[in-house]
A = this chain, B = another copy of it.
C-alpha cells in the first residue's frame, strides 16, 4: 500500500487530474475537455467517476490522503470558485463541498498559482525554503507568496495578485479595468503586445513582420529571439525590465530566499531569466542585493499543474 494524493487542475480549456505519490511521481492521469463540462454538478460527478477509475485501475493498493484542486479564482478559505471569467459556471460555486459528497477525504482548493507555489515547496525548486515567491507567466501573471513556511492567503483568500500591481502608471489597459498592471507586460500575452508595439514604432527588420499580427505568439517570439532576431530580443529585454523592477519592489516586502518562474513564458529559460535577474538586481535596495535567487520551476512539464494541486493535499496533511 502506498500513500498518494489526488491533484485536479481546473482550466478554461481542459481539466487534468491524476494520482501523485509523495515523491512527486504522477502514478496515473486523465483529463476532461471543455465541451464535456456541463453544469458544475455534472462536472464534479464526471470528475469523481474519472478519479475513481484511476484509483481502481491502480496496480498497487493506494492510501489516498487527500484531494487538492487548483482553479482560477479559487478561494482557499471557502473552497469555492468565484466568478471565474474563463469557466462556464456563474457566481460562487462550492466546489470543495461538491467533491466531499463523493470522497470522504480532506479537500483543499486554491487558485492555480498558489497550487504551483505549494507544488514547488513540496516537490520542486523551493523544497526546504520557508520564504519564496512563485510567479506564473502564462496568459496572465499569477503569484504565490510563501512566508514563514506558509502560503499567504490573506484575509479573504485572494492574496498574491502580483499581476495586478501597477508596473507602469497610466500604462496598458488591463482586463481588470485599471491601467499599467504588471501582467499586461510580463506574461505570454504581454510580450506579444510589446512586440506589436515595437513593430509599429520601429523600422527594425524582424522575421516577426512576416506573421499576421493576430498570429504572433510568445512561442514565435521565443523562436525568433533564439535565432537572434533583434526586435524579439528587445521585446524580451523590455519584458524582463518591467518584471525585474516589480520583483525588486516585491522583495522589499517579503524578502524571499528565491523567486521561481513558472509557466509558458518561463519556458524561454535564460532568455527571460538572465535579463530579469539583471534588472531586478539593478533595482534592489542594497540590503537585498545578491541574496535573492531567481530560478526556473523544477516541476514544469505537462503535468506540473496536477503536481501543484496534489501538493495542496500533502501540505495540508503535513500541517496537521
Query: Does A33 have its Cβ within 8 Å of any Cβ on chain B?
Result: no
Query: Does A211 have its Cβ within 8 Å of any Cβ on chain B?
Result: no
Contacts of A254 in B (CB 8 A): 145, 152, 154, 159, 253
Q: How far is the CA of A160 from the CA of B254 in the complex (A)?
A: 6
Query: Does A65 have its Cβ within 8 Å of any Cβ on chain B?
Result: no
Q: How far is the CA of A250 from the CA of B288 in the complex (A)?
A: 19
Is the CB–CB distance between A152 and B148 below 8 Å? yes
Interface string of A148-174 (1 = CB under 8 A from B): 101011111111111011100100000
Q: How far is the CA of A169 from the CA of B166 in the complex (A)?
A: 12
Query: Does A131 have its Cβ within 8 Å of any Cβ on chain B?
Result: yes
Contacts of A154 in B (CB 8 A): 131, 147, 254-256
From B153, B158, B162, B287, A287 is in contact (CB under 8 Å) with: B158
Contacts of A157 in B (CB 8 A): 255
Is the CB–CB distance between B245 and A166 below 8 Å? yes
Within 8 A of B (CB), among A115-152: 130-131, 145, 147-148, 150, 152
Expressed in whole angstroms, the minimum distance between the Cβ of A48 and any Cβ of chain B is 29
From B147, B155, B158, A159 is in contact (CB under 8 Å) with: B147
Is the CB–CB distance between B285 and A178 below 8 Å? yes
Contacts of A283 in B (CB 8 A): 166, 178
Is the CB–CB distance between B256 and A145 below 8 Å? no
Is the CB–CB distance between A255 and B291 below 8 Å? no
Query: Does A249 have its Cβ within 8 Å of any Cβ on chain B?
Result: yes
Query: Does A318 have its Cβ within 8 Å of any Cβ on chain B?
Result: no
Expressed in whole angstroms, the minimum distance between the Cβ of A148 and any Cβ of chain B is 5
Expressed in whole angstroms, the minimum distance between the Cβ of A130 and any Cβ of chain B is 7
Closest B residue to A166 by beta carbon equals B249
Is the CB–CB distance between A148 and B148 below 8 Å? yes
Query: Does A252 have its Cβ within 8 Å of any Cβ on chain B?
Result: yes
Is the CB–CB distance between B176 and A285 below 8 Å? yes
Q: How far is the CA of A274 from the CA of B47 in the complex (A)?
A: 49
Contacts of A147 in B (CB 8 A): 145, 147-148, 150, 152, 154, 159
Is the CB–CB distance between A253 and B162 below 8 Å? yes
Contacts of A159 in B (CB 8 A): 131, 147, 253-255
Interface string of A284-301 (1 = CB under 8 A from B): 011110011000000000
Query: Does A177 have its Cβ within 8 Å of any Cβ on chain B?
Result: yes
From B161, B166, B250, B291, A155 is in contact (CB under 8 Å) with: B291
Query: Does A257 have its Cβ within 8 Å of any Cβ on chain B?
Result: yes
Given the contacts A131-B155, A152-B148, A291-B155, A252 and B285 also touching, CB distance less than 8 Å: no
Is the CB–CB distance between B252 and A161 below 8 Å? yes
Leading 10 A-B pairs by shortest Cβ distance: A154-B255, A159-B255, A155-B257, A165-B249, A161-B252, A147-B152, A131-B155, A164-B285, A148-B150, A164-B252
A–B Cβ pairs within 8 angstroms, 15 of them: A131-B155, A147-B159, A153-B255, A155-B255, A155-B256, A155-B257, A155-B292, A158-B287, A161-B252, A161-B253, A161-B255, A161-B285, A166-B249, A169-B169, A253-B254
